[in-house]
Amino acid sequence: MNLIVAVDRNWAIGNQGDLLIRIPNDHKFFRQETMGKVVVLGRKTLETFPQGLPLKGRANIILSANRDFKVKDAAVVHSLEELLEELKGYKDGDIYVIGGESVYRQMLPYCNVAHVTKIDHSYQADSYFPDLDRMPEWKVTAYSEEQTYFDVAYQFVKYERKI
């Protein structure tokens, strides 16, 4: 299973329910990686999408504790156990966990590949991703050249779980 995330220097991922910054190349990379695949996300993350609608061209699976929560064109599950059962119907390599913080934390133990956009800046933030650089079971296996968006430097880094 994969996950895909953009983090700042402190592994922050969001503030007040929104992304820290919108980098067009990061969005392009996200689309390329997830198109035609399965995305796993929480209800709050879904609410940040345009019109709060599921992503087109992907199977959307939303984790929400609210049993009354329903979304057109998406599967809604209400527990980690239910989510893992739902995911059995898909190829492991086609599954991408896309946030937010609580979904990342719950699903990290099940993921073997992490696509991390590392942004060389510190933002005001209230949600974070675990620091993979401090976790001995993860190693960097690929990284892009440093790129810039206006005055912000960033890099695409691929982590893989050591087997």
Reading the block at residue 83, the tokens are 């989510």
Give the tens place of pLDDT for each residue, 62-104: 999 999 999 999 999 999 999 999 999 999 999 999 999 999 9
Distance CA(121)–CA(87), nearest Å, equals 35
Q: What is the mean pLDDT of the chain?
A: 97
Q: Please give the Cα distance from 69 to 63 (Å, whole number).
A: 10
Cα-Cα end-to-end distance for the chain = 14
How far is 132 from 84, CA to CA, in rounded Å? 23
Cis, peptide link before residue 14, omega less than 30° from 0: no
The stretch 53-69 carries a mean pLDDT of 96
Residue 3 β-bridge partners: 97, 114
pLDDT at 136: 97
- Domains of the chain in start order, with CATH, are 2-161 (3.40.430.10)
Across residues 103-132, what is the average pLDDT? 98
Q: What percent of the chain has pLDDT over 90?
A: 98
Query: Residues 20, 129: contact at Cβ < 8 Å?
Result: no
